[in-house]
Structure 1
Amino acid sequence: GAAPSLVWEPLREPGCGGAIVSLSVSPHDAAHLVSGGDMLGTAVSFDGGENWRPGLGLPSYEMASVTFHPMKTNVVWIGSCMGPFVSTDGGRSWESRRRGMPPPSRGRYTAIVEKILVDTDTPGRLLAFGGSSRRWSRCGTTGAVWASDNDGGDWRRVGTLTKDGFTTNGVEGVNIIKAWKGADGRYHAFADEAGWFISSDRGKTWVRRQVEGIPTHLASVTTHPIETGIVWAVAAPRNAEGCLLPGGLYRSTDGGRTFQPGDGGIRKTADANPNLMSHFADIEISPLPPHRMYVSDMSWHSTAIWTSDDGGRSWRKGADRKSIATACFAGPGCRLAASPADARTAYAYNSEYVLKTVDGGRTWTDMTALRPDVAKPDNWRGRGWNGWCSKAIVFNPYRRGQSVVQMMDAGRGWISDDGLQSWHYAKGDASPWLGGVTAAFSRDGSVYLTTGQFGANNGVAVSRDGGATWRVRQGAPHGLPEADAGEYGGVWADPDRGCRAFVILKDGLYRTEDGGETWKKDETAATTGDFAEDPTHPGRFYVRNAQGVFETDDWRDFRPLGLPGESDGRIACDGRGRVLVCRGRTGDATRRGLWRYDPRTKEWTRLHGETLAYAVAADPSDPARIILTTADNPYHDFAGGHGVWISADDGTTWARANDGLHVRRLTCVAFDPFDPELVVAGTGGGGFVRARWPKNRIEQP
């Protein structure tokens, strides 16, 4: 077909929003960073994190640890749930290198790899380790140690790390969460269920190391980058006579045979709730003098980054929730990476952002978002490393330049008032987590946001002043269900009377007549589901649910339109009043695809046979221009999403439009009604992307 006429680029909404699981600094260039996430794919920065770009070419997006080749400047390896990947252009693009491992599957993971190590003593030799530090998933190769003698062109299984030690049998073993080469030239690995392993023969055989002086099981081990006798261990929280005690840090000076406490000065929190108990994931030690050490308390309450300049004899707090300015809300419970080129520079990363210090841990800066205008401290702009699981992009049809993006987790209600240049959060009295679903606007400045994920919700957020201030309404005092009643679905607001709105929950439809202060369940509403309003017939709605597709003018009488409803997918209505329905992922494959209903002929037409069709939008100024996105769930080697399809001739012919698209699972899409050549789409794990689709371009199939 023709070359793509639109090129996708990150929207740059604030924060990351997905769990960043790795970040590494190039030993060749301190400004060169590569990072990976649990559903995010990868990102690369060439200016120390000021700006990021997504990595391209991945078949799925559940990543693990990064390894820069110590001799080859632009060669980078990364582990993943889909096996090892290599980049020869510094992290801009990736290729799978898993020949010799189990063949990939479209139904599961078959070769999960956490880390790849380069054997600097033997050109072309690599080691790969089976596991996931994110604890994302397991497979038959968990615990495996692999070797390659031709730069990853072919792999052979050396053996497996198990609870009982090392075996050459090809059994499923323990989950390897880290692997590294020590200062003494030996190889090390650490696994959840079995602890610390050491190889003295370049990875051919492994011995499980027993330790003394630690009163509970190990959570991690780190060897000193220069001094071979010094080893640090992280101990997990422990139960002592019925009392749960915090985790701790321990230091060894005899190569790890015996350990003594080494966390003096770190203020720790004890709590019966493990999430509120002080615990640590790992220790980072700078390879440069004075070998500054970093550790992070992962507790939700006492979360902080601690730094030591004297080998762990004393610690100082460098960051806590009050001392850092970030777009997102989590405290600095982070994993850490020290720069190999600058003793004062290090990075910290978690599920919402990346932090950077250039003064040895005394101050930290958000490297996933920035404030573009110091006069507007609540406004943020992303730097290009985004990992949100997107739910909706909604443009305000009555106010040019205003839009809302809704995402899972801490992504409830980020609003732009300046044409997608910066974003501010819809502040309210509810928790920022549990995600957002969608939004609705009125001409008088009323805005309604629905929330929820994983069977729970945070109520309905309402603004009556164009998004400047917010209140959240939830539960019986306001006539709404409680948090555990499920997640909200769609929302509608009266275009001319913003005090009138309704929201959808799994048990029915709830209406408000007073601007969201009180709500009442509409007992006459016969059914609910995903819906779209007919722009040519105000008050007419088309509803899609498990029973099919229906037309209603009052939510009491529903006219079935004849399309079965067994598949996933979204519904939309174009500027001619025609109904667009995506039917993908589940159900009868012969009936999947994009379907359109014309109320004048009362007939359905299958516009596209895409079996993973999920979201659709039509240009509000020209309904013949249609954009279709596809989506699939994770947990297999190949993400099934095929990306984006576009048609400029009313669905007669279609062309792929994936140029620049780093994640091909897309869950929502919309045209800007004031600038219909601008399209924004949301991915399932890579945040939002934008592209311009010129109207004068005729697509070729």
Structure 2
Amino acid sequence: MHPFPRLRFGTLPLLLTVLCLLAALPATATRWVSLGPDDDGTVLSLAFAPSLPTTVYAGTWGGGISRSLDGGLTWASANAGLSNPVVQAMAVFPRDHRFVWAATEGGLYRSVDAGHNWLRVTTEPVTAVAADPDLASVVYIGTRNGMFRSGNGGATWIPMGETLVPAEIRFHVRALVVAPTRPKTLYAAYQGMRSGIFRSENGGMGWARIAWGEYTLLTVDPKIPANLWAVDRRGVHLTNDGGATWTRVLQRANISALALSADGARIFAAVPGQVLMSRDQGAHWRRIGTGLPNRVIHGMAVQPDNPARLLVGPESRGAFQVDATTGTWQWTSEGLVGFAATAVGPAPDGSGLWLASPLGLYVTADDGATWTRKLRGASLRSVDLAPLDANTLYTGGLDLRAGGPALFCSQDGGGSWMHAHGGLAGLQVLRVAAHPLDPLTAYAGTEAGLYKSIDAGMTWTELPLTGIVTDLVIDSNDPERLYATVQRRLYHSHDGGASWHVRMEGAVPSLGARLLRGVAVAATDPQSLAVIDGERIFLTRDRGTTWQKLEGPAFVRDHQTVLFAPGNEQILLVGGHGGAAFTTDGGATWNALGAGISGLDVNHLHYDLTRPGRLYAATWAKGVMVLDPAP
């Protein structure tokens, strides 16, 4: 029988026409596929909003911040304006859920709109944060170099506790809490030459020691300011008289999280794979249910209006909700930011794919089936491979051990690394770029300037360009020609960085650019450049003599990355909060860039030139994703 028994001869031209139209559909009909690494994300901190108990924030290791509006059952990314994805602690103003603080390795961030947008108010790494219970403008922070107080929302800061240790001795504040019913009463635990717990009764102006030793966790009774719980390596300790006397109420050596219910009646302590609860001031403890992953629990918080319900974050397993009454656990990580990728770099010989992340540097040689971590101890922002030598690669970010910028080079495919120790200004490296023709030459942009190496990273020389270098690209047609975005300006160099000239002054009224975040050069037309800030896209076809301001796609905000398609300068791509988009008509219209990436935060887009039509995206939540074919 004929395979098309009902097909009439006259319908054949119509069928052929339909098939041709389907074949001509843009590549965005294809779907993005996640390549991993597989990870539900590590939640470092959890904070409920007392004034709106169904709202809870999760600070993650590498994934920034996620927000839940249903008590932690489902989550959505809340990273607009957040440039550092390691969120160690969070605090919500008790009287208004809109005011939130996030402590990160890159400083303290403030939100006044319930996490929709974030503003950085300090640049020093913050280890602890406490919100004043009465005034939204007052906040206290702990750092690796002391404690500070702000009375104006983070605009200015006053040091606290300077008399605790000599000024020349740095100390690490591990925990900082404010008594909810007595806002002038603060407790702080710090580690250093004189480790211990200190109490202040005057808002941090004066302090008195109440305990010796290295304490890591503190929580104060919400109703009785003199009742303080503290954790050290020996277990949980309780004082009912403001520190005059102490009782060890739980002897465990590996307690990683501590939380108290809003009524003060239940105390919870987390050990790997377990949560213990006491309802009698620590006299007796019982394990709540079973079934938690056997991982260290970093984040834990009790729902303000339900003392029997809490959220916990086991390492690499997202979040779980527990009912302390029934002892039942429920995995509640839907939408929670998982593995965060900040940049992606395909090897120029097709041998593998490299991923920069807050957890280090990873590589896969089998399209994501397996990943190997090649570098740890640094929160990495950028990675680039030398086009003529796939074994030479550069990566940079923040040094998690020593603080300050981290900059590495490997000439053996990640087997060994040269670390640039010292000499680099700024908090962290934001961008690295390898020379297209000389594997020994590379550039690194930091938060304070631009550097160049001509010996594979052994030494770095400061170039005459200062400020926050958010992006740097090398013209593949003329490697001596560089472009760098610094604050609201685009700079151009025609001599390998020896001299620089402004090509776009974003502050002029006709452009009105904010902090520029990225720049792209079209490989097929070096006269075509594109620059982005958080909201707009700026396009030139004459190497910066004239500029056109484009309104970006409405469904992609907080732009993070921009690039041209390798074979067509008319195709421009942009990624950011909400996904990725592309235009083929100079920004008049924008189309979603593939299916399956909508709603995600895209940090970086990169074509694989060894596999034409293949596009990678580094995302906050799903690691590396691939679109093939792409525009």
TM-score by length of 1: 0.52
Tell me if 1:65 matches 2:89.
Answer: yes
CA distance in 2, matches of 1:348, 1:682: 27
Q: Which residue of 2 aligns with 1:341?
A: 305
Q: Is the 8 A contact 2:344 2:624 kept in 1?
A: no
Q: Which residue of 2 aligns with 1:147?
A: 150
CA distance in 1, matches of 2:259, 2:286: 15
Pick the aligned partner of 2:142 from 130, 134, 139. 130
Tell me if 1:439 matches 2:365.
Answer: yes
Name the CA shift for 1:673/1:528 in 2 (closer, same or farther; >3 Å).
closer
Provide, for residues 371-395 of structure 1, a one-character-per-residue CA deviation record: whole Å limited to 9, x for no partner: xxxxxxxxxxxx241243467699x
CA distance in 2, matches of 1:610, 1:693: 30
Q: Please tell me the residue identity of whatever aligns with 1:251.
A: L
Post-superposition offset of 1:89: 1.9
Name the CA shift for 1:146/1:666 in 2 (closer, same or farther; >3 Å).
same
Q: Is the 8 A contact 2:320 2:333 kept in 1?
A: no
Q: Is the 8 A contact 1:407 1:437 kept in 2?
A: yes
Q: Which residue of 1 aligns with 2:323?
A: 359
Q: Which residue of 1 aligns with 2:338?
A: 386
CA distance in 2, matches of 1:318, 1:73: 29
Q: Which residue of 2 aligns with 1:574?
A: none
Post-superposition offset of 1:695: 8.2
Q: Is the 8 A contact 1:593 1:608 kept in 2?
A: yes
CA distance in 2, matches of 1:310, 1:53: 38
Post-superposition offset of 1:681: 0.9
- Which secondary structure does the structure 2 equivalent of 1:203 belong to? coil
- Which secondary structure does the structure 2 equivalent of 1:440 belong to? coil
CA distance in 2, matches of 1:12, 1:341: 40
Q: Which residue of 1 aligns with 2:190?
A: 191
Post-superposition offset of 1:113: 6.3
**Within 5 A, what are the aligned runs for 1:183-332?**
185=182, 186-193=185-192, 194-210=195-211, 217-236=214-233, 247-263=234-250, 278-288=253-263, 291-298=265-272, 303-318=273-288, 323-324=291-292, 331-332=295-296
Post-superposition offset of 1:179: 1.9
Q: Please tell me the residue identity of whatever aligns with 1:259.
A: W
CA distance in 1, matches of 2:375, 2:616: 25
Q: Which residue of 2 aligns with 1:566?
A: 441
Provide, for residues 605-633 of structure 1, a one-character-per-residue CA deviation record: whole Å limited to 9, x for no partner: 789735899999999xx999x99999xxx
Q: Is the 8 A contact 2:146 2:162 kept in 1?
A: yes
CA distance in 2, matches of 1:295, 1:153: 32
Q: Which residue of 2 aligns with 1:34?
A: 57
CA distance in 1, matches of 2:133, 2:68: 26
CA distance in 2, matches of 1:18, 1:586: 35
Q: Which residue of 1 aligns with 2:561?
A: 644
**Within 5 A, what are the aligned runs for 1:419-430?**
none
**Further displaced range: 52-61 or 604-613:** 604-613
Post-superposition offset of 1:665: 5.6
Q: Is the 8 A contact 1:127 1:203 kept in 2?
A: no
CA distance in 2, matches of 1:221, 1:210: 12
Post-superposition offset of 1:191: 1.7
Q: Is the 8 A contact 1:22 1:35 kept in 2?
A: yes
Q: Which residue of 1 aligns with 2:473?
A: 593
Aligned residues: 454
Provide, for residues 192-233 of structure 1, a one-character-per-residue CA deviation record: whole Å limited to 9, x for no partner: 23322222123332222236xxxx643333332234453322
Pick the aligned partner of 1:657 from 549, 574, 594. 574
Q: Is the 8 A contact 1:250 1:260 kept in 2?
A: yes
- Which secondary structure does the structure 1 equivalent of 2:250 belong to? coil
Name the CA shift for 1:294/1:564 in 2 (closer, same or farther; >3 Å).
same
The answer to which structure has the higher strand fraction is 2
Q: Is the 8 A contact 2:274 2:288 kept in 1?
A: yes
Q: Is the 8 A contact 2:43 2:61 kept in 1?
A: yes
Name the CA shift for 1:342/1:171 in 2 (closer, same or farther; >3 Å).
farther
Q: Is the 8 A contact 1:161 1:173 kept in 2?
A: no
Name the CA shift for 1:617/1:450 in 2 (closer, same or farther; >3 Å).
farther
Post-superposition offset of 1:95: 1.8
Q: Is the 8 A contact 1:147 1:156 kept in 2?
A: yes
- Which secondary structure does the structure 1 equivalent of 2:67 belong to? strand
TM-score by length of 2: 0.57
Q: Which residue of 2 aligns with 1:134?
A: none
- Which secondary structure does the structure 2 equivalent of 1:209 belong to? strand
Name the CA shift for 1:52/1:196 in 2 (closer, same or farther; >3 Å).
same
CA distance in 1, matches of 2:35, 2:97: 28
Pick the aligned partner of 2:617 from 674, 681, 687. 681
Name the CA shift for 1:350/1:210 in 2 (closer, same or farther; >3 Å).
same
Q: Which residue of 2 aligns with 1:523?
A: none
Q: Is the 8 A contact 2:344 2:355 kept in 1?
A: yes
Post-superposition offset of 1:307: 2.2
Which sections of structure 1, spanning at least 5 residues, go unmatched? 99-108, 132-137, 237-246, 269-277, 370-382, 395-403, 412-433, 442-446, 457-488, 491-503, 507-526, 531-545, 550-561, 570-582, 598-603, 631-640, 697-701
Provide, for residues 48-90 of structure 1, a one-character-per-residue CA deviation record: whole Å limited to 9, x for no partner: 3312223201243343422222222322222334443221221
Post-superposition offset of 1:91: 0.7
CA distance in 2, matches of 1:642, 1:208: 48
Q: Which residue of 1 aligns with 2:374?
A: 453
- Which secondary structure does the structure 2 equivalent of 1:144 belong to? strand
